[in-house]
């Protein structure tokens, strides 16, 4: 091809193609940049329209309401009439007449006013003439006379002005009176329309008016920046950016609860967003996901490959709570709270270390003396599959075969033989236990019912008074206890649980020998007593090879994680640490040969707990046992495990009052360890046993809501260490738990923290109380007024009638009660303790006086304060001294309660117990 040809050739088609391509690409770029990767724009437009429609609908509705409102229509009509009236008719004529009179009066006034100003300037001139004459020493008579004339004229003119002013004012008043009707009506109308005005403003705030058109606001990325929330690989602080509200437009607005996603209002918005403002916390600290991503919902939610923190949905979000809250036993965090509780109490912590949960007490029974407790054949069956004997036990199933179970039972019996024998030697078989004596059994059953055993234990198969999640029992069900434990052991255990196991959670009920014998006789009827030849089985199990094999198994399966076993003191946890398990990448989870299980963290973990050996292969053995938990329980544990994250939330985002948080966590652990909530309602939780006292709640264990504000800490601490009966009418007995000093302190601080009390100490200066008030209080308490001692004790002064009719000892008030609480209590007992037998002497819901009018001027509040002051002067009873018990024989020598490990104090009211002075542990 020649050059000329080349020049002649047309490239227009190529050029056109290039232009077309360029244009298409340009359009594509714009479309992609502005539309396809900006789904949030569409959402914001949609939401804007929705909001505008709603706002307009509200305007229409309000307009309709006004139109339908007869009040409003009356005002409108009256206003119209009043206005019309001013324009014509009689009123109109009156107004025009007044107007012409006003004009005339104004002329008169102006004239007089002008004259007055004139005469004033003339006076100025006359003064000058007069003073000038004086200065020149000429005759001043003329000027003086002139001045006096003018002064007289001024007085007269002033009178004229005043008169004209008065006339004008009168006319103006008359006029205003006519118009004020209109003004009042206008004001009324405006007030009625104020709601409408506000709603119209709402609409205006949502649109951009352009000429006669209205447009929705132009969408833009919405974002929250959390400064220094994250850390990079070099531990340098990074800001976190959450753009979630770019699409989730209605998340923090009321009224979109039923809207489609992503417009919907946050569930429980007040609870969750009210306490965590979106501006401060954004979304991903709780929800995870990919905060800055806005290209697609999948990306934003982190539902893409290799994104490590996909968004939590539903209750899983609660995994985010624990990053900032040490204490998750709070409203809205129920699932993680359950997960944490299960993790602590089902026994997970026995094998798996988790930061912050490492030093919890072992949850399984003490096995150092177990040879003295159980039937050997029972033990083999139990080890083989505990769920068979007790379906809701916390003890998991290890899938042992018969030989393994026998080996383990052999080792358990052999290792505990020595300490078991020693214990038996000092705990002889008691006489007088007879499960065939119907009367004795009935007495035992009655005691089991009334003492409060059912706060923790089910006494029949299937009875579960103290639930741990929904598949486990906190304390063993005793419906078949006779099969398991011998009666000699039961007797000594009931009398003094810490005498057998220094770790016992079971408290001492301060039983008399006879009570314990009756109870054991009754327990002996629950289930078939062990019928096996115990001695023969033991001989077989104690074979040295069997025991050695058992020891290896006990080590391999980590039994010592939950149980105290002789010879296993140095064993460490056998499971993997789970402190950051929630951050574990999918690649590190071993699915074995399972292809049927979806490859997600959640599915892996759920199946692992539900069927612990599920990923086992020929080469990889797994030892985790089966806990038989319900789906809900496993889900709750998953939420807890998901919360175990590598990333730590910076201090600035955590709950400010760390000390209170710690007090709540520590205290609740102790409270749950001893299951105080089996009997007591604490912080609105627990107290299941109260269902048995519906007929008369005052016979049940006291409700402890608000206890931290009620009692003095010193007293509370001493009481926990050594309970004394406060309510002689109760059959249910506050047991002696033998809490350590540390545990008692944690409980006291927990109750104070619940009430938000920083320093829970109270000092009462009796000398500083007003004698007048003390006297008045004493008078009020007397038989002529409130007659308090008809029911209340005061030290040795006891009320008439049987104990069940008595009320607490008022002599203890100054030691025990917070003075401020006494006032609140007297003001309205039912408000503080619903169902209390204490009646209200006053009604502060109205102003009418209720107290006697001849005491302190009949002032109710002052009378209440006087009662308080009087109570504070009553004899103080040393708390740590001999407890008040109904049976004087059960009172211990005072020297007995000094055990600092909390063991001796559990014995204090039972001198007959053989191990009274024995200090365990």
Partner 1 sequence: MLNFRMIAQSAALTLGAALVSTAAIAYEGGAVAGGGSIKGTVKFKGEAPAQEVLDVNKDKKVCAVGEKKSNELVVGADGGIRYAVVSLTNISKGKAFPEGESILDQAGCEYLPYIVIVPTGSELVIKNSDGILHNIHTYSDKNKAVNRAQPKFKKKIKESFAEPEMVKVTCDVHGWMKGWLAVVDHPYYVITDEKGAFELTDVPAGEYEIKVWQEKLGESTQKVTVAGGAEAAVTFELAAK
Q: Which residues bind partner 1 (CB under 8 A)?
A: 268, 334-335, 338, 470, 632, 698, 783-787, 790-791, 799-802, 804-805, 829-830, 834-841, 843, 852
209 beta partners? 214
Rounded Cα gap, residues 241 and 224, in angstroms: 6
Nearer residue to partner 1 within complex by CB, 507 or 728: 728
* Stretch (H or E) spanning 108: helix 89-136
DSSP 663-693: HHHHHHHHHHHTTGGGTSEETTEE-GGGGGG
Rounded Cα gap, residues 767 and 562, in angstroms: 55
User: Residue 221, exposed/middle/buried by CB under 10 A (0-12, 13-18, 19+)?
Assistant: middle
Nearer residue to partner 1 within complex by CB, 516 or 871: 871
Beta carbons within 8 Å of 16's beta carbon, 6+ residues apart: none
Nearer residue to partner 1 within complex by CB, 329 or 427: 329
- Residue 262, preceding peptide bond in cis (omega within 30° of 0): yes
Nearer residue to partner 1 within complex by CB, 260 or 804: 804
Q: Are 920 and 499 in contact (CB under 8 A)?
A: yes
CA distances from 832 to 693, 709, 710, 827 (A): 18, 11, 10, 10
Nearer residue to partner 1 within complex by CB, 522 or 786: 786
Q: How far is the CB of 682 from partner 1 (least distance, A)?
A: 16
Q: How far is the CB of 804 from partner 1 (least distance, A)?
A: 7
564 beta partners? 366
Q: How far is the CB of 691 from partner 1 (least distance, A)?
A: 14
Closest CA to 864 of 782, 789, 807, 780: 780
Q: How far is the CB of 29 from partner 1 (least distance, A)?
A: 50
Rounded Cα gap, residues 699 and 678, in angstroms: 16
Q: How far is the CB of 630 from partner 1 (least distance, A)?
A: 11
Q: Are 481 and 455 in contact (CB under 8 A)?
A: no
Helices 544-556 & 402-415, crossing angle to 10 degrees?
100
Nearer residue to partner 1 within complex by CB, 49 or 268: 268
Q: How far is the CB of 778 from partner 1 (least distance, A)?
A: 15
Rounded Cα gap, residues 911 and 570, in angstroms: 37
Q: How far is the CB of 532 from partner 1 (least distance, A)?
A: 42
Q: Are 507 and 732 in contact (CB under 8 A)?
A: no
Q: How far is the CB of 684 from partner 1 (least distance, A)?
A: 9
Q: How far is the CB of 65 from partner 1 (least distance, A)?
A: 23
Q: How far is the CB of 787 from partner 1 (least distance, A)?
A: 4
Q: How far is the CB of 688 from partner 1 (least distance, A)?
A: 13
Q: Are 304 and 298 in contact (CB under 8 A)?
A: yes
Q: Quote the radius of gyration of the chain (alpha carbons, Å).
A: 44
Q: How far is the CB of 780 from partner 1 (least distance, A)?
A: 9
Residue in this structure with the two tokens 């033991």, named with its chain if needed = 538
Beta carbons within 8 Å of 810's beta carbon, 6+ residues apart: 788, 789, 792, 793, 794, 871, 874
Q: How far is the CB of 538 from partner 1 (least distance, A)?
A: 45
Q: What is the DSSP letter of 216?
A: E
Nearer residue to partner 1 within complex by CB, 338 or 407: 338
Rounded Cα gap, residues 411 and 555, in angstroms: 11
- The sign of the torsion formed by the CA atoms of 260, 263, 267, 268 equals negative
Nearer residue to partner 1 within complex by CB, 17 or 271: 271
Nearer residue to partner 1 within complex by CB, 95 or 321: 321
Rounded Cα gap, residues 112 and 105, in angstroms: 11
Nearer residue to partner 1 within complex by CB, 784 or 796: 784
- Residue 818, preceding peptide bond in cis (omega within 30° of 0): no
Nearer residue to partner 1 within complex by CB, 653 or 842: 842
Q: 605: how many CB neighbours lie within 10 A of its CB? A: 19
Q: How far is the CB of 342 from partner 1 (least distance, A)?
A: 12
Nearer residue to partner 1 within complex by CB, 335 or 643: 335
Nearer residue to partner 1 within complex by CB, 569 or 684: 684
Rounded Cα gap, residues 15 and 418, in angstroms: 102
Q: How far is the CB of 278 from partner 1 (least distance, A)?
A: 22
Nearer residue to partner 1 within complex by CB, 647 or 791: 791
Q: Are 557 and 625 in contact (CB under 8 A)?
A: yes
Nearer residue to partner 1 within complex by CB, 535 or 783: 783
Q: 618: how many CB neighbours lie within 10 A of its CB? A: 7
- The sign of the torsion formed by the CA atoms of 527, 533, 537, 542 equals positive
Q: 264: how many CB neighbours lie within 10 A of its CB? A: 16
Rounded Cα gap, residues 769 and 782, in angstroms: 19
Helices 141-192 & 70-87, crossing angle to 10 degrees?
140
């Amino acid at each position: 091809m020649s050059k000329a040809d080349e020049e002649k050739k047309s490239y227009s088609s190529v050029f056109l193609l290039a232009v077309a391509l360029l244009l298409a690409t340009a359009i594509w770029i714009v479309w992609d940049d502005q539309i396809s990767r900006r789904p949030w724009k569409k959402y914001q437009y949609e939401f804007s329209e929705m909001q505008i429609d709603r706002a307009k609908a509200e305007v229409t509705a309000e307009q309709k309401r006004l139109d339908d409102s007869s009040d409003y229509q009356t005002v409108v009509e009256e206003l119209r009439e009043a206005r019309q009236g001013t324009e014509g008719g009689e009123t109109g004529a009156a107004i025009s007449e007044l107007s012409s009179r006003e004009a005339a009066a104004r002329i008169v006034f102006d004239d007089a006013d002008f004259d007055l100003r004139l005469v004033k300037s003339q006076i100025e001139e006359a003064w000058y003439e007069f003073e000038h004459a004086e200065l020149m020493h000429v005759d001043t008579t003329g000027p003086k006379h002139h001045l006096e004339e003018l002064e007289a004229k001024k007085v007269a003119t002033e009178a004229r002005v005043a008169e004209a002013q008065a006339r004008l004012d009168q006319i103006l008043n008359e006029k205003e009176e006519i118009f004020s009707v209109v003004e009042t009506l206008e004001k009324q109308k405006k007030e009625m329309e104020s709601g409408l005005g506000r709603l119209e403003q709402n609409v205006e705030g949502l649109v951009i008016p352009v000429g006669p058109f209205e447009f929705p606001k132009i969408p833009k990325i919405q974002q929250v920046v959390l400064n220094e929330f994250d850390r990079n690989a070099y531990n340098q602080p990074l800001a976190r950016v959450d753009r979630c509200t770019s699409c989730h437009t209605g998340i923090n607005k009321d009224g979109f609860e039923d809207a489609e996603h992503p417009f919907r209002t946050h569930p429980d918005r007040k609870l969750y967003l009210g306490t965590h403002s979106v501006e401060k916390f954004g979304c991903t600290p709780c929800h995870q996901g990919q905060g800055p991503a806005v290209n697609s919902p999948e990306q934003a939610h982190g539902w893409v490959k290799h994104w490590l923190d996909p968004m939590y949905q539903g209750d899983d979000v609660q995994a985010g709570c624990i990053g900032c809250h040490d204490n998750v036993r709070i409203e809205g965090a129920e699932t993680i709270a359950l997960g944490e509780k299960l993790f602590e109490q089902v026994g997970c912590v026995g094998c798996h270390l988790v930061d912050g949960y490492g030093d919890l007490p072992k949850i399984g029974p003490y096995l150092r003396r177990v040879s003295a407790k159980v039937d050997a054949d029972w033990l083999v069956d139990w080890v083989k599959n505990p769920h068979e004997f007790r379906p809701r036990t916390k003890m998991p199933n290890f899938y042992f075969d018969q030989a393994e179970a026998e080996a383990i039972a052999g080792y358990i019996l052999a290792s505990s033989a020595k300490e078991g024998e020693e214990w038996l030697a000092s705990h002889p078989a008691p006489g007088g236990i007879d499960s065939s004596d119907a009367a004795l059994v009935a007495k035992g059953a009655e005691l089991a019912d009334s003492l409060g055993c059912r706060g923790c234990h089910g006494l029949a198969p299937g009875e579960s008074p103290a639930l741990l999640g929904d598949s486990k029992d906190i304390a063993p069900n005793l419906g078949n206890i006779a099969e398991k434990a011998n009666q000699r052991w039961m007797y000594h255990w009931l009398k003094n649980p810490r005498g057998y196991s220094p770790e016992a959670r079971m408290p001492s009920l301060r039983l008399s020998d006879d009570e314990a014998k009756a109870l054991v006789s009754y327990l002996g009827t629950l289930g078939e007593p062990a019928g096996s030849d115990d001695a023969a089985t033991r001989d077989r199990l104690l074979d040295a090879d069997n025991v050695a094999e058992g020891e290896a198994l006990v080590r391999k399966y980590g039994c010592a994680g939950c149980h105290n076993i002789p010879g296993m003191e140095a064993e460490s946890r056998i499971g993997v640490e789970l402190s950051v398990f929630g951050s574990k990448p999918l690649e590190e989870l071993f699915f074995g040969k399972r292809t049927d299980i979806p490859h997600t963290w959640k599915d892996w973990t759920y199946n692992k707990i539900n069927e612990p050996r599920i990923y086992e292969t020929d080469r990889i053995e797994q030892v985790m046992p089966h806990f038989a938990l319900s789906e809900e329980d496993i889900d709750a544990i998953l939420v807890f495990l998901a919360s175990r994250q590598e990333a730590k939330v910076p201090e600035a985002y955590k709950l400010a009052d760390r000390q209170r948080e710690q007090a709540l966590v520590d205290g609740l652990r102790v409270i749950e360890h001893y299951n105080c909530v089996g009997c007591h309602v604490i912080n609105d939780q627990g107290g299941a046993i109260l269902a048995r006292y519906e007929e008369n709640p005052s016979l049940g264990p006291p409700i402890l809501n608000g206890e931290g504000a009620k009692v003095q800490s010193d007293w509370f601490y001493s009481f926990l260490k050594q309970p004394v009966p406060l309510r002689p009418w109760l059959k249910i007995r506050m047991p002696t738990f033998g809490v350590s000093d540390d545990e008692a302190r944690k409980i006291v601080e927990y109750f104070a923290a619940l009430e938000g009390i920083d320093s829970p100490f109270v000092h009462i200066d009796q000398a500083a109380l007003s004698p007048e008030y003390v006297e008045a209080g004493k008078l009020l308490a007397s038989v002529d007024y409130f007659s308090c001692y008809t029911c209340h004790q005061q030290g040795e002064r006891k009320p008439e009638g049987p104990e069940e009719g008595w009320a607490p000892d008022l002599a203890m008030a100054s030691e025990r009660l917070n003075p401020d609480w006494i006032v609140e209590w007297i003001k309205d007992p039912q408000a503080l303790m619903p169902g209390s037998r204490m009646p209200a002497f006053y009604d502060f819901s109205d102003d009418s006086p209720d107290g006697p009018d001849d005491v302190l001027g009949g002032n109710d509040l002052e009378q209440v304060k006087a009662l308080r002051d009087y109570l504070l002067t009553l004899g103080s009873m040393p708390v740590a001294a001999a407890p008040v018990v109904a049976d004087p024989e059960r009172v211990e020598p005072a020297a007995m309660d000094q055990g600092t490990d909390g063991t001796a104090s559990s014995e204090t009211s039972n001198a007959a117990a053989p191990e009274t002075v024995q200090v365990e542990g």
